[in-house]
Amino acid sequence: MTAQTETPETVTTVYKVSGMSCGHCEGSVSSEISELPGVSSVKAVASTGEVTVTSTAPLDEEAVRAAVDEAGFELVGRA
């Protein structure tokens, strides 16, 4: 099951990321993903490994994977 909801203006997708263990990790992942075109908000939670991304359109998963890799973590997939 894909955790993705859509409204006329936004798409919210929840991703699973492995390796986050603290607030600094959350900030690194959030910072990299927030640079992707169309992203309006990112909330990373280290304790669950979930990253909730709100964007103006569905994001290319490979672009999200590259952003997470750049932050030093691994995108497991969608939650």
CATH number at residue 15: 3.30.70.100
Residues 8-66 have pLDDT tens digits of: 689 999 999 999 999 999 999 999 999 999 999 999 999 999 999 999 999 999 999 99
Residue 7 has what pLDDT?
63
Of the pLDDT bands very low, low, confident and very high (cuts 50, 70, 90), residue 3 is low
How many domains does the chain fold into? 1
State the CB neighbour count (10 A cutoff) for residue 48.
Answer: 12
Six token digits for residue 29:
């992942």
- Enter the DSSP assignment of 53: E
The answer to whether residues 34 and 1 touch, using CB atoms and an 8 Å cutoff, is no
- pLDDT-derived band at 5 (thresholds 50, 70, 90) equals low
